[in-house]
Amino acid sequence: MPNIVQYRNKCIGCGICFEMMPGIWRMSKKDGKATLLNGSIKKQASVLPINHSLSENAKKVAKACPVNIIKVNE
Protein backbone atom coordinates (compact mmCIF):
# COMPACT_ATOMS: atom_id res chain seq x y z
CA MET A 1 0.00 0.00 0.00
CA PRO A 2 1.42 3.44 -0.89
CA ASN A 3 2.02 6.02 1.83
CA ILE A 4 1.79 9.78 1.80
CA VAL A 5 4.47 11.29 4.02
CA GLN A 6 4.36 14.94 5.08
CA TYR A 7 7.07 16.80 6.99
CA ARG A 8 4.49 18.92 8.67
CA ASN A 9 6.61 21.35 10.69
CA LYS A 10 7.90 22.85 7.44
CA CYS A 11 4.41 23.40 5.99
CA ILE A 12 3.76 27.04 5.04
CA GLY A 13 -0.02 26.59 4.91
CA CYS A 14 -0.47 27.49 1.22
CA GLY A 15 -3.49 25.16 0.95
CA ILE A 16 -2.60 23.62 -2.43
CA CYS A 17 -2.69 20.04 -1.11
CA PHE A 18 -6.11 20.62 0.41
CA GLU A 19 -7.43 22.18 -2.82
CA MET A 20 -6.14 19.26 -4.89
CA MET A 21 -7.23 16.43 -2.55
CA PRO A 22 -9.77 17.72 -0.04
CA GLY A 23 -10.65 14.18 1.04
CA ILE A 24 -7.10 13.57 2.24
CA TRP A 25 -6.04 16.91 3.70
CA ARG A 26 -7.49 19.59 5.89
CA MET A 27 -6.14 22.96 6.96
CA SER A 28 -5.66 23.28 10.73
CA LYS A 29 -7.51 26.13 12.37
CA LYS A 30 -4.93 26.05 15.16
CA ASP A 31 -1.68 26.65 13.30
CA GLY A 32 -2.77 27.10 9.66
CA LYS A 33 -0.80 24.10 8.43
CA ALA A 34 -2.09 21.21 6.36
CA THR A 35 -2.87 17.99 8.19
CA LEU A 36 -3.25 14.51 6.73
CA LEU A 37 -6.70 13.28 7.75
CA ASN A 38 -6.30 10.15 9.86
CA GLY A 39 -2.55 10.29 9.44
CA SER A 40 -0.23 8.98 12.16
CA ILE A 41 2.98 10.57 13.38
CA LYS A 42 6.18 8.62 12.75
CA LYS A 43 9.42 10.28 13.81
CA GLN A 44 9.21 13.86 12.43
CA ALA A 45 6.63 13.05 9.76
CA SER A 46 2.93 12.47 9.36
CA VAL A 47 2.13 9.26 7.45
CA LEU A 48 -1.07 8.07 5.76
CA PRO A 49 -1.50 4.78 3.86
CA ILE A 50 -3.61 5.28 0.70
CA ASN A 51 -5.13 3.13 -2.02
CA HIS A 52 -3.16 2.62 -5.22
CA SER A 53 -5.94 4.44 -7.07
CA LEU A 54 -5.01 7.64 -5.23
CA SER A 55 -1.26 7.47 -5.63
CA GLU A 56 -1.05 9.26 -9.02
CA ASN A 57 -3.01 12.20 -7.64
CA ALA A 58 -1.00 12.16 -4.44
CA LYS A 59 2.20 12.39 -6.52
CA LYS A 60 0.82 15.43 -8.32
CA VAL A 61 0.16 17.05 -4.95
CA ALA A 62 3.71 16.20 -3.84
CA LYS A 63 5.05 17.93 -6.95
CA ALA A 64 2.83 20.95 -6.42
CA CYS A 65 3.85 21.55 -2.79
CA PRO A 66 5.98 24.71 -2.93
CA VAL A 67 8.27 23.65 -0.09
CA ASN A 68 8.59 20.04 -1.22
CA ILE A 69 7.65 18.38 2.06
CA ILE A 70 5.25 15.76 0.70
CA LYS A 71 6.53 12.36 -0.49
CA VAL A 72 4.65 9.37 -1.87
CA ASN A 73 6.21 5.96 -1.17
CA GLU A 74 4.98 3.06 -3.26
Contact residues: ligand SF4, CB under 6 A: 6, 11-17, 34, 65-67, 69-70
Cβ at position 60, least distance to ligand SF4 in Å: 11
**One-letter amino acid for residue 4 of the chain:** I
Give min distance, CB of 70 to ligand SF4, in A.
6
Euclidean distance between CA atoms 7 and 52, whole angstroms: 21
Query: Judged by CB, which is closer to ligand SF4: 2, or 15?
Result: 15
Q: Which is nearer to ligand SF4, 37 or 67 (CB)?
A: 67
Q: Do 37 and 23 form a contact (C-beta atoms < 8 A)?
A: yes
